Amino acid sequence: MHHQMVAFEVMNLSMLSKQDWSNCVLELSLVADIIVVATRVAVALAQGNWYIVETGRKDGYFSSITEAEKNLPPPTISVSNAIRLFGSKGLSANDFVLLLGGGHTVGAIHCSKFLDRLYNYQNTGRADPSMNSATLTSFRQRCKGVLEIDQRIASDVQTKSTVSRLAYSGDFATQFGYAMINLGRVGVLTQGPVRRNCRRNN
């Protein structure tokens, strides 16, 4: 996230005083493209592969966290529903496994996202029975855990063969890059503004 904020500041063209915008052709969107470019940098910093980034997006007129969250799968989503959600965006089941597996290996999960698995799974007053006692004790002591959907993709009939193949093929990083390219094509705007300032409309 820090690197994304730096990218926003560096690319915020409004900070270039007295710029003659009438003679300036902007080919890189300050919001949509920069997020994608900064994400690639973050992946590389996390020891991932450097992959191609397609640019040329237009920016939207407004941003809404409520609208964004509608497209984010909850940690308790089933594999079938997750595949359908990704499919509605033009992404395959293979993309889903790669993006979930790659994206969730970076950073840390907030306790609130998996506490129910440790103490009150599905309101039973007990821990998730799919975790063995040693794992459960470790997670409780450190307040760390695995999201339910992350565990499910390794055992669900629709995804377990993909997980197994990626675990032993040695090309996960390359395949993850391809999936990120596909993700970068979701919801691309080809009509609209190119913001001169990341924080507001022109």
Q: What is the pLDDT of residues 138-190, one digit of tens each?
A: 989 888 788 889 989 999 999 999 999 998 988 899 999 999 999 999 989 88
For the CA atoms of 189, 193, 197, 198, what is the dihedral angle to 10 degrees? -20
Give residue 157's domain range: 2-109+146-183
In a domain, 167, yes or no: yes
pLDDT of residue 202: 66
pLDDT of residue 30: 63
pLDDT of residue 28: 57
In a domain, 202, yes or no: no
At residue 167, φ and ψ (nearest 5 deg) are -65, -30
Q: Directed axis angle between helix 32-45 and helix 172-183, to 10°?
A: 170
* ∠ Cα 92 94 95 (to 5°): 65
Intervals of the chain under pLDDT 70: 1-30, 198, 202
Instruction: Could you list the residues known to form a binding site for substrate, using ranges.
Output: 73
Q: Which of 50, 58, 90 is nearest to 191 (CA)?
A: 58
pLDDT of residue 10: 46
In a domain, 33, yes or no: yes
Instruction: Could you list the residues known to form a binding site, using ranges.
Output: 73, 104-105, 156, 159
pLDDT of residue 114: 86
Instruction: Could you list the residues known to form a binding site for Ca(2+), using ranges.
Output: 105, 156, 159
Number of domains comprising the chain: 1
Instruction: Could you list the residues known to form a binding site for heme b, using ranges.
Output: 104
In a domain, 31, yes or no: yes
pLDDT of residue 75: 85
